[in-house]
Structure 1
Amino acid sequence: MDQFSATDAALAGFRAAREKPRTVAIWAGLMAILSFVVAIIVVSTFGDQLTALTEALEGDPDPQTTFAAMSGMWPLFLGSMLYVLATNSVLLAAVNRLVLRPHEGAGAYLRLGVDELRQALVQVLLYLVLFAVYFVGVVFLAILAAVGAGLGGQGLGVLLGLLAGLGLLAGMILLSVRLSFVSTLAFDTGRIDLRQSWGMTKGRFWPLFGAYMIAMVLAVVVYLLLFVMIAAVGAIASMAMGGGLAAAGDALRNEASTLKDLLSVGGVIRSLLSGLMSVLLSLIVFAPAPTIYAQLKGRDAGV
């Protein structure tokens, strides 16, 4: 099969949530518990430093004060990157499994094994490839702007820099779309193959780009709706517990810089809804690629 429906693929995440509500509920519950535990560890370990960093970034931040507040927080930054890498790897494998192997539904499609490790390697590899292209593009942009400024003045340099920047953005989007099947191919074939993804997406850039753009727009809409819901529920819970308008205002800002805030009724509710948010956003963003892959392969997708 050479064609696919961009709109159908973009809505694959919503269909998964509708057709597999129990699976999505389990994912959301596990993510909420995991996020809550991690938040407790972070706040209890780095709470004072996070508060100082937040205060340093308010108003007109001073670089020296900001760097001072960030000193000693590298374990948090490193841990956060590893946490995101691990959770994304598990969710990517689970979404691929749900779409391509719907019969493997035991454990709500969640596993901890070679498929998840392979997804982690794919994410690291794609990041390095995109970063390398971005770095080379930025260097070329700076050289082009300097040459333009030397030949035709500051105006020409700015124009050439702007055109080069737009070209770099277009190139990054093109590369991201052309390599969008790497994760699914790694799951389906057991091989990390950039070339095969490049070949499968040849001549299909615009339909793929359209599907991914629709999914991203829908993800933003869902994020905004759930963010408002989380803030409103937290505020209502804080007021119901006698926190007053000040506590409601803190809940609306979605702040939890202390264990007291995190363990409050509003904090617990926000954590539960945040788990649902992260799962829904992952479904919306991750599901289109394996769905399109299945259609191109002439296989029935699980959703």
Structure 2
Amino acid sequence: MTPFSASDAALEGFHLIRRSWRAILGWAGFNLLALIMVVVLSAVLSVIAAAVGGGTSTPVLAFAGFAGGLATLFSQAIIVGGVFRLELRPAEPAFLHLRLGRDELRLVVVWLITLTGVWVVGWAATLLGQLIGGGGVLVELLGAALAVYLGLRFLLAAPVAFVERRIDFVRSWRLTRGRVWALLGMSALSICLIALLMIVVFVVLAAIATAAAGLDGLAVLFAGTEALQQHPAVFLLAFAVEIILIPVLWVLGIAPLVAAYRAFTADGDAAPVNLKPETGGSAA
């Protein structure tokens, strides 16, 4: 079995940011454009809903929310696909390594299946806990532990879907056999590093906002768009940081999966992969 360092894998995202920071800044620009498109789409559909139904409580308005959520999901899948492509297929034709094609569609499907599985496990544990009564808390804890275990065993479903171009949770199960503790350590360290980064960013933003506008500036960090008129500079700074931070967090969360996939498939368990770009995709 190829040696696998959980700490090295958890730090892979930071190495990728250091090597390809220009591309990641470009992803922040794409993230901004995607957000603008989602807002415009939702606004247009909301106007249509108001015109058709004479109010806001119409099926068209519900569809507007669904369409906005779906567009956001695909925009984030494009960024995640960019992380995989930058790490695994850097020579593939794509603008800033971003494309919208079958690879990204498979990632969305994997996410939806995973979220559905987590919901089913949580629902079953909650229902069983209510039926048992006094021991319900223990059942819910066991359900949470089961969800974590299954999540670790299927952790490589996303890189499998991208690299091997197939949705194959069984393949992830085989690759992670005997490596659950290593993956748990990698995931825990990655989460801690991401949390630490977010805390540092928030502390710096809070210091800048307080220095610029006192406690009112600090409140801007917790307010919505209504704070734009009160302290526009602080609001725009926080908004810009958020736009840049989203692709950075994706890199820090996804790059360790690439490192794990590489290490685990180095044992000769790698499946034949056609690295030619699939037809039907378009550069983002």
Query: TM-score, structure 1 length as denominator?
Result: 0.74
Aligned residue for 1:272? Answer: 240
Offset of residue 258 of structure 1: 6.6
Identity %: 27
User: Contact 2:110–2:158 (CA<8 Å) still a contact in 1?
Assistant: yes
> Superposed, which structure 2 residues align to 1:156-175 within 5 Å?
157=134, 160-175=135-150
**Alignment partner of 1:188 out of 163, 167, 172:** 163
Offset of residue 265 of structure 1: 2.9
> Superposed, which structure 2 residues align to 1:72-111 within 5 Å?
74=62, 77-79=65-67, 81-104=69-92, 106-111=94-99
Check if 1:119 corresponds to 2:113.
Answer: no
Q: Over residues 221-253 of structure 1, what are the superposed CA-to-partner deviations in whole Å (9 max), with x where a residue is unaligned? A: 1112222334444555xx4xxxx5475244243
Aligned residue for 1:58? Answer: none
User: Contact 1:96–1:290 (CA<8 Å) still a contact in 2?
Assistant: yes
Check if 1:298 corresponds to 2:266.
Answer: yes
Judging changes above 3 Å, is the alpha-carbon distance between structure 1 residues 44 and 191 closer, same or farther for their aligned structure 2 residues? closer
Q: Over residues 77-107 of structure 1, what are the superposed CA-to-partner deviations in whole Å (9 max), with x where a residue is unaligned? A: 5345324421221122111112222333742
User: Contact 2:41–2:64 (CA<8 Å) still a contact in 1?
Assistant: no
Return the letter of the residue paired with 2:32.
A
User: Contact 1:177–1:209 (CA<8 Å) still a contact in 2?
Assistant: yes
Judging changes above 3 Å, is the alpha-carbon distance between structure 1 residues 231 and 246 closer, same or farther for their aligned structure 2 residues? closer
Gaps of 5+ in 1: 47-69, 146-156
User: Contact 1:90–1:111 (CA<8 Å) still a contact in 2?
Assistant: yes
Q: Over residues 192-248 of structure 1, what are the superposed CA-to-partner deviations in whole Å (9 max), with x where a residue is unaligned? A: 011111111111100001101100111111112222334444555xx4xxxx54752
Aligned residue for 1:201? Answer: 176
Aligned residue for 1:16? Answer: 16
CA distance in 2, matches of 1:9, 1:254: 36
Offset of residue 186 of structure 1: 0.6
Structure with the largest fraction of helix: 1
CA distance in 2, matches of 1:127, 1:83: 17
